[in-house]
């Protein structure tokens, strides 16, 4: 099962990301990964919540336009240059990377990385052929347990987990 990521756009004004966080925290949706990039009047936000379908409903009900998409989870050696190999494979296959989240979860000495691309099926195939992605890697982590695997954080924690 693919890890799901939410993308949304916000006005670039004080309090907007707090509004999103509050809406999700009030419904006990935990956020395991977040990125925010602001350019001009707009901000782009990407989230990996523990309950993505519920988070989408909450955000849409609040008037946000939300995109939910799959990511590919790859397992990488935790050393310089290992991620570059994945990026080179995707570039050679003419796949555009749209977002990246290095997950808190680890499997042994390897890191798990979630990658959103413009062609998930082709990305999964070329990364499987190169030995970076496997059904095993994608079974290692789900949206619900990305938060649960974070060390020293109570499982009942809600709101923003950064």
Q: Is the pLDDT of residue 45 over 80?
A: yes
pLDDT tens digits along 105-151: 555 666 667 776 778 788 888 888 888 777 776 666 666 655 554 44
Q: Which fold has domain 3-68?
A: VC0802-like (3.30.2130)
- 148 to 2, 54, 101, 105: CA distances (angstroms): 17, 18, 16, 9
Provide the 10 A C-beta neighbour count for residue 161: 17
Q: What is the CATH number of domain 71-148?
A: 3.30.2130.10
Percent of the chain with pLDDT over 70: 74
pTM assigned to the model = 0.66
Pair 21, 11: CB distance under 8 Å: no
Task: Give mean pLDDT, residues 86-102.
Answer: 90
Domain ranges across the chain: 3-68, 71-148
Among residues 40, 101, 105, 43, which one has the least CA distance to residue 70? 101
């Amino acid at each position: 099962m693919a890890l799901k990521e939410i993308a949304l756009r916000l006005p670039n004004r004080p309090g907007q990301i707090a509004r999103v966080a509050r809406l999700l925290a009030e419904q006990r949706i935990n956020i395991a990964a977040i990125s925010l990039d602001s350019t001009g009047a707009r901000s782009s936000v990407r989230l990996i919540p523990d309950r993505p379908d519920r988070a989408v409903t909450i955000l849409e009900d609040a008037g946000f336009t939300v995109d939910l998409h799959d990511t590919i989870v790859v397992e990488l050696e935790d050393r310089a240059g290992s991620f570059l190999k994945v990026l080179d494979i995707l570039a050679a296959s003419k796949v555009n990377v749209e977002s990246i989240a290095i997950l808190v979860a680890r499997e042994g000495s390897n890191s798990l990385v979630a990658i959103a691309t413009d062609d998930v099926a082709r990305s999964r195939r070329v990364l499987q052929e190169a030995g970076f992605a496997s059904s095993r890697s994608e079974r290692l982590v789900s949206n619900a347990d990305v938060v649960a695997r974070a060390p020293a954080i109570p499982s009942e924690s809600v709101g923003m987990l950064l």
